[in-house]
A and B are shown apart, each in its own frame.
Chain A
């Protein structure tokens, strides 16, 4: 096989083309959004939300409903339950969230292992970018377009908030509303990205790109652009590895993203 075939073969296959487009679109948004996930310490919230929406995904799979719908419903229910559990001052927010998420994951697994369950649990948990449908691509495209617009519009207020919350309040900004906007974007990103990357691996695309670039970028905007490009490229590298090695695509993409993060942490510092 020559280099040209190596590069073009995935694009010649409909399945490979869809997978590459999916990771490009998801990487473009999630790689940029990851900056705020890491900067505002939302990694644990991301993991909680992505794991907690499993029952919604499984119920949608059992009912033959669109997984996107199940993910959205699961995310809403998980967010409500996590918020409720985290409010209990006797056990504290982190413990409450951990218990709620474990419970939701258990319910999801229980449903998925029932005799009526379709044999798709591994797809829900680990994702399958090679199995994305046209509707998944439309959702990823909408996320990239609408979510990207939101990031551009909110960029200055979010920067002011992250830099100095009391100062941002004195500027007339509303920190509570800005944080709510971040959480809505996070829920949308998890809901859409979980289709391709799965319940357990989606975290990689929402954290790893920011870890990879944050030491090098001199401004949040540059970090977001670099994160976006890095996530898209790492996603494509994962699909190529999966396509040519016959390995699980979701896992390959997650591993490529984590290798990118590792490189960003260990390589010598040269700020852009």
Chain B
């Protein structure tokens, strides 16, 4: 496969009319992609189509292997009594043998992944009692244990403390340098410049390409509409931020 992720003419929805349509893009291996868009713009829906949870109403989706999916931590069951190590270990279920207790090498891999995300000392801590940034790093450790060519990360930097955000961003660079492809959804236009490619969604594909091309004023206005606020005019990439709406 020449592309790690290839989407062509995708229309996808939840039973009725499509909530996301006209999506066509192709990502070569070892690239990072920022999936940008407002709430309800179709970012999570795209990820659900890429994991196979939602079947396309039209078009096709091709992914190299089964992608790892890192959900927003608020969407996990925070009251479920599992430790950070238990969560990281769940990544090994992707390798089969789900009917057997975790083997020693699986535990070692999970501990190594926790160490890599800077949480070696927190392996016994209950997941729901960790900070938002720590929880996000534990979910990243689970994805590392899953060991897949493509990772989908749903707003991994939302509500994360600055130290965790820095660590997570550095980890993205590491994972990409290992040859993995990352699709990272976010509201934050400013963080999009760090990525190789940017995909703008607003219930349809608005733009796709390198940040310098995809983040022009016209694309951002088409993506965010009235949510867009110009805070200075030093240039389009530094000129905008986005209001966060609580839903």
Contacts and interface: CB of A to CB of B under 8 A. Distances in A.
Helix, strand, loop or mixed for chain A's interface? helix
A166 B90 CA distance: 13
B186 interface: no
Contacts of A218: 81, 83, 126
A144 B101 CA distance: 20
Given A162-B77, A164-B76, A171 B51 contact: no
Contacts of B98: 156-157, 173
Given A162-B80, A163-B77, A172 B94 contact: yes
Contacts of A159: 80, 82, 86, 90
Contacts of A160: 90, 93
A219 B102 CA distance: 15
B90 A156 contact: yes
Contacts of A219: 81-83, 86
B36 interface: no
A220 B152 CA distance: 28
Nearest to A163: B80
Interface string A208-225: 000000000111100100
Interface in B5-55: 48, 51-53
A166 B139 contact: no
Contacts, number: 79
A34 to B, nearest CB: 15
A167 interface: yes
B211 interface: no
A32 to B, nearest CB: 15
A167 B52 CA distance: 12
B99 to A, nearest CB: 5
Contacts of A167: 69-71, 76, 90, 139, 142
A245 interface: no
B76 A163 contact: yes
Given A156-B93, A160-B93, A172-B94, A166 B81 contact: no
A10 to B, nearest CB: 36
B69, B75, B86, B90 — most chain A CB neighbours (10 Å): B90
A153 interface: yes
A149 to B, nearest CB: 10
Nearest to B44: A166
Given A159-B86, A172-B94, 10 more contacts: A156-B90, A156-B93, A157-B98, A159-B82, A163-B87, A170-B51, A171-B146, A172-B66, A218-B81, A220-B80
10 contacts: A156-B99, A159-B82, A159-B90, A167-B70, A167-B142, A170-B152, A171-B94, A172-B94, A173-B98, A220-B81
Interface of A: 39, 153-154, 156-157, 159-160, 162-164, 166-173, 217-220, 223
